[in-house]
Amino acid sequence: MSVTAYIALGSNLDEPEQQLHSAVAALEQLPKSKLLAVSPYYQTKPVGPAGQPDYINATAAIETTLTPIELLDALQAIENSHGRVRTIRWGARVLDLDILLYGDETIESERLTVPHREMSWRNFVLIPLADIAPDITFPTGQSIKKLLQNIDRKGIERLSDSLVTEA
C-alpha cells in the first residue's frame, strides 16, 4: 500500500540551489515512488555552529511503497552520492534529506524518528511544508496551521516558485 511521505531538503555547500535541483531529480527516480510536489526554495539562516553559510531549504512530497527504512536508505544514498560527510552535528553540509512524515505513522527506532523530532519549531521546515500541504495534521494531532502561528519568520526568504505540483 502506498503512503505519502514528506521530505525536507537542505544544503549550504557547493552551490546549494544546484544541490537541491539534483536531489529533486534523484527523488523523481526513487523506485516504487512518485514525486508529487516540491515547495519553493527558501534561503535560511543556519542552525548550529557559527560561521556557516546560509542554507537553501525546501520540502517534497512523494507517494511511495518503500518501507520507512527503505526510504531512509534511499535518501542516505542520494546524500552520499552528493558527497555528504557526517562530521559535526548541525554543521555545514552538501545535502541533507530528512523524512519528516511517513503517512500517519509514528516511528521511534535507532535509525529513524517520525514525525521528525525538531520539525514543529523549525521555520525552514514548516513554511515550505505548508506550501505543499497547507491542511496537514501531524500524527501528534498538531495542525501545521497552528504550528505556523507560533514560529519566528525572521531569517527566511522565499527564492522561487513551486517546481512540481501534481498532488
Confidence of residue 125 (pLDDT cuts 50, 70, 90): very high
153 belongs to the catalytic site:
no
Residue 167 has pLDDT above 50, yes or no: no
pTM of the prediction?
A: 0.91
131 belongs to the catalytic site:
no
User: What are the grid coordinates assigned to 106, written together?
Assistant: 509514528
Average pLDDT over residues 97-120: 93
CA distance 116 to 12: 20
Average pLDDT over residues 4-19: 94
98 belongs to the catalytic site:
yes
CA distance 76 to 83: 11
Fold type of domain 3-159: Alpha-Beta Plaits (3.30.70)
86 belongs to the catalytic site:
no
At residue 91, the pLDDT reads 55
131 contact partners, CB below 8 Å, separation of at least 6: 39, 40, 59, 162
